[in-house]
Structures are given as structure tokens and as C-alpha cells.
């Protein structure tokens, strides 16, 4: 592991064996002691402004040269053939400026290992596979590799200044919202990898999203479809404090940039592994090829592999947006439920739909397992630990059931989840939510803060009865633009059965 990580433990590997690893989508970073806070404050005043000025000057200069080099070229021109002549030579000047940016950012120690594994002719390994992908600072590797053509999200082309620099690498852009983008991306990679023209190597981050480097998640097979040899490259950040990792749950980009630029120096290691030549079976099966390359890279890094994907990130992001309990662990919860047979039986939905009338809501491990109808083994204990309230050592059962319902209904309209939530948080068991109960629901299922939940209740309770029913809330929400997401793709509002 590189740097200082504080994350949630306990995920499962694809072979059902417990892997004691960190949740790959969580990274927590805090200044632990007074010394670190004072040092950061001092360097924020002394070092940060100087570095920002130098970096901005270098990037603007590089951007200006890139604009000159790209002048007169359309997007189609960039995709049709590699740059030649003076435009190609200008790449060296731009690259030199970007290397100075890396130094100015404090990365004085960028160590490149395994150079003897780099073939003399880049066409012997047309595709470079880099992992783990954990931060925007991974752009350092792009600079150190001589600016190969990157496979990147199309949104990056619109970034101020940086977009033009990326365009100069003649990238392969991925449009994630376009259903044909995947096939088009694969086609373009194949064309470049098998072309006789002098295209730059294609660089892919096959994980497709950022993790905390605790493991290698599922490699997307797009870069392996050409069936050509690939150059695996690993990247590490062996620093005392990890100020670079940018995940779905953790510090934002500006905080990471601030903390990194206020370090005296930062380190990065890039290692070239031997070129991987696919077998005939791997050429026929890109997914197998991707898995085997991932295994080689994981072994070199000394980390496990987990079958997590970009879709898992989207699931976690959606859960966080709504405020679902244990949102950061929804992928792990889903896998444990599948292993216990709960995903198939949908037991939690039946329990939630029936309500918790007359039954305990705070559960110890043995009662938690009994209510779910599963043995209290290592997996059930882990599920319990994810939802356990540290203050009491117990699980608040409605929170667990809401998360399980969210996973079971993730492709259904949100109104269905809401109807279940109205039953779960109905402590009076009469189909009516008090203000306190509604605040519980709204913060866990609608993504509202407590103040907004309070105001929503007051506005929806037109008769000032002191309670809300599901139908009353739905009637109110239909008239409010801020609750339009509740009815997205939903034409028939699901209503709970009479109590």
C-alpha cells in the first residue's frame, strides 16, 4: 500500500474467499496532528503561491504551443492519421514544459523502473496498460511515457487549457452516455493498434475509474480486443501521507491539490513490466486476456484483485446522493447478500413490505441473523458490522432493510423505494410519519439534510396535522420541481397497500 489510507475494510473476492482489503472506492485523509497543521499552514503561505504561479505559467505556455500545433486540424483529422512534420516535432517542446510542471508540483522523485522491458519499436507493444488508476496525478505517467494517445472521457476535451494538451496526444475519446461509444472506442483502438502508420502507443487505464490502490478492480476488455501485445505499467505513490488518491468517497480535487502542493516533495514510481504476449485463446477472449494481465500486474504490485466495476461506482454514487445507509459499502453488501442467498430470495423486501409492527428495531448479531434466516457466520457478521452503530453495538434494522431494498429496486422507480421507506420508518405503525420519522426517511432516502427535511414536512403538512402519509407526500412532491427525480421514468406511482 502506498501512502496513508484510512478506509473501510472487508470485501469479498470473486472466488467467495474473504479478502482482507480496503474498500477500493473510499479514501479518508485528515491532518492528524498539530505539527502537520502548522506545517501545511506555513507552506500554504510560502510555497503554494509560488508553485501555482509557476505551474500556471508553464501550462499556459504549453497550451499556447498546443493551439499552434492544432491550428487548422479538425477532430476528424486528428483521428484519421498521426501528426507528422513540424507538428510532431512541436510535441517535444510541449512535453518538456509538462515535465517542468511535474517538477514544479513537487514531484522531484519520479522513479522509472524496468526500462529494459520497453521494446525498441513501440509497434511491438501498441497498447500500454496502466494500473492502478487512483488520481488525476496519474497524468505524470503520461508525461513520463512521452505523451502516448490516451483513452479518456470525452468531457476532458472541454477542460480549460488541459483539454488542448490532451487533444495533442490524439486521444481516443469515450462517450459514456452514447450506447455506441464502446464499440466505436474498441474499433478505433483496433485500427490504431494494427495500423502500419506511425501512431503513438495507445495508453489505457483499464479499471475505468479511480480507486485507492488497495486492489485492482475489473479491467475493461476494450484495450484487449485488438489481440496485440500490451505493455503493462504500474504506478505507485510511496509517500508518508497519501495526498493524491481521488475516489468516490473522500477529499475533493481542490483539497488534494492543495495538500499535495504544500508538501516539500512527493514521490511517484512507474514500473514497466515485461511485454505481455497473448495466447491464441486470449486473442479469442478479450475478457480472459484482461483478467490475466490484471493478475500479472496485481502480483507485481502485491495487491489482490476484485471484480468491481465502473457500474459499481455509479451505484455507490447514487446511494450517496440519496443518503442510503452504508452507501459506500453498497457493492460489498450486494455481494454478501448474493452469497447468503438473500438477493435471490428477496426476503428483505417481504420483511420491509410487511412492516416492523411489534418487532424490535435495534438488533444484536444473533437476532439480526435470525430475522434474515441465515446462519451467523463470517459473512453475516461482516454484514452486521457494516450497519452497526458504534455507540450501541447494535444494528438499526430499518437502515439495513432500506439499503437492501435499494439494491433490490435499483432499476425501479424511486417511488417504490419510498413506499417501503414509509413503512420502515413508521414507528407508530399507522401509515403516518411524524416529523421525526419523516426526517429519518428524507435524510436516508431523498438525500435531504435535516433542515430541508423539516421544511419539506412543514410545507407538505398543509392541514398541520403533525403527520404525513405516503399519498400526501407524493401529492406534494409532484408539484415541486426539486422532487422531479422521484418520478423519473415513472408513469404509475406505486402506492403501498392499506395498512
10 pLDDT higher than 50: no
Query: Is the pLDDT confidence value at 15 over 90?
Result: no
Return the pLDDT at 493: 37
- Cell readout for 236 is 505507485
Q: How many CB atoms sit inside 10 A of residue 25's CB?
A: 27
Residue 249 or 164, more confident: 164
Has residue 64 got a pLDDT over 90? yes
Question: Exposed, middle or buried by CB within 10 Å (0-12, 13-18, 19+), for 177?
Answer: exposed
Give the pLDDT mean for 148-160. 81
In whole angstroms, what separates CA 266 from the centre of its chain? 24
Q: Which domains are seen in the chain, by residue range?
A: 9-307 (3.40.1130), 312-487 (1.10.238.10)
Question: Which pLDDT belongs to residue 21?
Answer: 36
- How confident is the model over 474-495, as a mean pLDDT? 72
Q: Are 104 and 47 in contact (CB under 8 A)?
A: no
% of the chain exceeding 90 in pLDDT: 46
246 pLDDT above the threshold of 60? yes
Please state the rounded mean pLDDT for residues 114-139.
Answer: 89
Residue whose C-alpha is closest to residue 192's, from 145, 227, 156, 226: 226
287-316 CB burial, b ≥16 within 10 A, e <16: ebbbbbbbeebbebbebebbebbeebbebb
Tens digits of residue pLDDT in 410-447:
888 888 899 999 988 887 777 889 999 999 999 999 99
Chain position carrying cell 499556459: 60
pLDDT exceeds 60 at position 6:
no
Is the distance from CB of 438 to CB of 445 less than 8 angstroms? no
106 has a pLDDT exceeding 70 = yes
Half-sphere exposure of 70 (CA within 13 A, CB side): 20
- Residue range 68-98, pLDDT digits in tens: 999 888 878 887 888 888 988 898 999 999 9
Q: What is the mean pLDDT of the chain?
A: 85
Is the separation of the CB atoms in 21 and 11 below 8 Å? yes
| pLDDT for residue 177 | 65
Max Cα separation, the chain? Answer: 79
- Give the tens place of pLDDT for each residue, 351-406: 877 767 667 889 999 999 999 999 999 999 999 999 999 889 999 999 999 999 99
**Confidence at 200, pLDDT banded by 50, 70, 90:** confident
Amino acid at each position: 500500500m502506498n501512502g496513508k489510507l484510512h478506509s473501510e475494510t472487508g470485501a469479498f473476492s470473486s472466488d467467495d474467499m474473504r479478502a482482507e482489503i480496503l474498500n477500493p472506492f473510499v479514501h479518508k485523509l485528515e491532518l492528524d496532528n498539530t505539527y502537520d497543521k502548522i506545517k501545511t499552514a506555513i507552506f500554504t503561505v510560502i510555497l503554494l503561491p509560488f508553485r501555482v504561479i509557476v505551474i500556471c505559467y508553464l501550462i499556459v505556455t504549453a497550451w499556447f504551443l498546443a493551439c499552434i500545433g492544432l491550428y487548422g486540424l479538425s477532430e476528424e483529422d486528428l483521428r484519421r492519421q498521426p501528426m507528422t512534420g513540424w507538428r510532431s516535432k512541436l510535441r517535444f517542446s510541449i512535453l518538456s514544459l509538462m515535465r517542468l510542471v511535474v517538477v514544479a508540483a513537487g514531484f522531484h522523485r519520479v522513479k522509472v523502473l524496468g526500462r529494459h522491458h520497453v521494446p525498441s519499436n513501440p509497434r511491438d507493444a501498441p497498447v500500454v496498460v496502466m494500473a492502478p488508476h487512483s488520481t488525476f496525478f496519474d497524468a505524470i505517467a503520461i508525461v513520463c511515457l512521452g505523451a502516448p494517445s490516451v483513452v479518456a472521457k470525452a468531457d476532458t476535451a472541454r477542460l480549460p487549457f488541459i483539454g488542448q494538451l490532451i487533444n495533442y496526444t490524439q486521444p481516443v475519446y469515450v462517450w459514456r452516455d452514447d450506447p455506441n461509444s464502446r464499440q466505436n472506442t474498441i474499433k478505433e483502438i483496433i485500427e490504431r493498434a494494427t495500423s502500419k502508420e506511425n501512431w503513438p502507443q495507445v495508453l489505457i487505464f483499464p479499471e475505468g475509474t479511480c480507486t485507492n490502490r488497495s486492489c485492482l478492480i475489473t479491467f475493461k476488455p476494450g484495450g484487449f480486443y485488438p489481440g496485440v501485445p500490451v505493455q503493462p505499467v504500474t504506478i505507485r505513490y510511496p509517500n508518508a501521507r497519501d495526498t493524491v488518491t481521488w475516489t468516490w468517497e473522500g477529499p475533493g480535487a481542490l483539497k488534494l491539490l492543495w495538500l499535495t502542493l504544500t508538501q516539500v516533495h512527493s514521490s511517484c514510481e512507474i514500473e514497466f513490466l515485461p511485454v505481455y504476449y497473448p495466447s491464441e485463446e486470449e486473442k479469442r477472449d478479450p475478457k480472459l486476456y484482461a483478467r490475466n494481465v490484471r493478475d500479472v500486474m496485481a502480483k507485481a504490485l502485491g495487491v489482490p484483485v476484485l471484480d468491481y466495476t465502473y457500474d459499481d461506482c455509479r451505484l455507490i454514487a447514487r446511494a450517496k446522493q440519496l443518503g442510503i445507509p452504508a452507501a459506500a459499502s453498497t457493492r460489498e453488501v450486494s455481494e454478501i447478500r448474493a452469497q447468503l442467498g438473500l438477493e435471490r430470495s428477496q426476503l428483505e423486501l417481504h420483511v420491509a413490505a410487511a412492516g416492523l409492527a411489534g418487532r424490535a428495531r435495534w438488533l444484536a448479531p444473533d437476532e439480526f441473523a435470525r430475522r434474515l434466516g441465515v446462519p451467523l457466520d463470517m459473512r453475516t457478521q461482516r454484514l452486521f458490522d457494516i450497519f452497526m452503530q458504534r455507540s450501541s453495538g447494535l444494528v438499526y434494522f430499518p437502515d439495513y432493510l432500506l439499503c437492501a431494498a435499494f439494491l433490490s429496486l435499483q432499476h425501479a422507480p424511486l417511488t417504490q423505494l419510498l413506499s417501503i421507506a414509509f413503512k420502515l420508518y413508521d414507528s407508530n405503525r399507522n401509515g403516518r410519519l411524524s416529523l421525526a420519522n419523516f426526517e429519518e426517511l428524507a435524510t436516508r432516502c431523498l438525500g435531504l439534510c435535516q433542515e430541508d427535511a423539516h421544511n419539506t414536512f412543514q410545507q407538505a403538512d398543509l392541514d398541520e396535522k403533525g403527520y404525513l402519509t405516503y399519498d400526501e407526500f407524493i401529492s406534494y412532491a409532484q408539484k415541486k420541481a426539486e422532487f422531479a427525480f422521484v418520478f423519473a421514468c415513472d408513469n404509475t406511482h406505486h402506492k403501498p397497500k392499506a395498512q
